[in-house]
Amino acid sequence: MRNIVLSTLLALSVSTSISYAQSTWTGGDDLPTNPLACDATPATAAAKPYDGGQPTNAPDRKGKTLTVVDVPKLVGIGYFNATSKGIADAAKEMGNMNAKTDGPSKANIDDQITLIDNYITSGVDGILFAANDPVAIAPVLKKALAAGINVVGYDANSTPDARQWFVNQAEFNGIAKAMIDSAAAEIGEDGAFAIVTSTFTTPNQARWISEMEAYQAKCHPKMKWLETVEAQEDNILSFNQSNTLINKYGDELKGILGMTSVATPAAADAVTQAGKCGKIAVVGLATPNAMKPYVSADCVKSVVLWNPVDLGYAAAYVLRAVADGTLAPGGTTVKAGKLGDLSVINGSEILLGAPTVFTKENINNFDF
Instruction: Give yes or no for a contact between 107 and 232, defined as CB atoms under 8 angstroms apart.
Output: yes
Distant-in-sequence, close-in-space partners of 255: CB < 8 Å, separation ≥ 6: 183, 186, 187, 191, 192, 193, 194, 280, 281, 282, 283
Which has the closest alpha carbon to 318: 70, 41, 101? 70
Domain ranges (residues) in the chain? 66-169+308-353, 171-305
Question: Residue 64 corresponds to which amino acid?
Answer: K
Per DSSP (E only), the strands in 28-131 are 66-71, 97-101, 126-129
**First CA to last CA distance, the chain:** 34
Query: In this structure, how many other beta carbons lie within 10 angstroms of the beta carbon of residue 252?
Result: 14
The answer to whether residue 9 scores a pLDDT higher than 50 is: no
Q: CA–CA separation, 351 vs 353, rounded Å?
A: 6
**Neighbour-count burial for 294-310, b at 16+ CB within 10 Å, e otherwise:** bbeeebbbbbbbbbbbb
pLDDT at 45: 58
Identical fold at 66-169+308-353 and 171-305? Answer: yes
Which whole number is the average pLDDT over 174-202?
95
pTM here is 0.82
CA distances from 193 to 26, 142, 253, 340, 368 (A): 12, 39, 6, 39, 28
pLDDT at 44: 63
Which whole number is the average pLDDT over 121-149?
97
Comparing 27-31, 244-248, 253-257, the range with the smallest average pLDDT is 27-31
The answer to whether residue 170 scores a pLDDT higher than 90 is: no
Instruction: Give yes or no for a contact between 152 and 130, defined as CB atoms under 8 angstroms apart.
Output: no
On the CB side of 242, CA atoms within 13 Å amount to 37
pLDDT tens per residue across span 288-314: 999 999 999 999 998 988 899 999 999
Q: Tell me how far the alpha carbon of residue 83 is from its chain's centroid.
A: 12
Instruction: Please list the residues that pair with 70 across neighbouring strands.
Output: 101, 128
pLDDT at 354: 74
Instruction: Give yes or no for a contact between 192 and 20, defined as CB atoms under 8 angstroms apart.
Output: no
Q: CA–CA separation, 56 vs 71, rounded Å?
A: 21
CATH topology of domain 171-305: Rossmann fold (3.40.50)
Into which CATH architecture does domain 66-169+308-353 fall?
Answer: 3-Layer(aba) Sandwich (3.40)
On the CB side of 329, CA atoms within 13 Å amount to 12
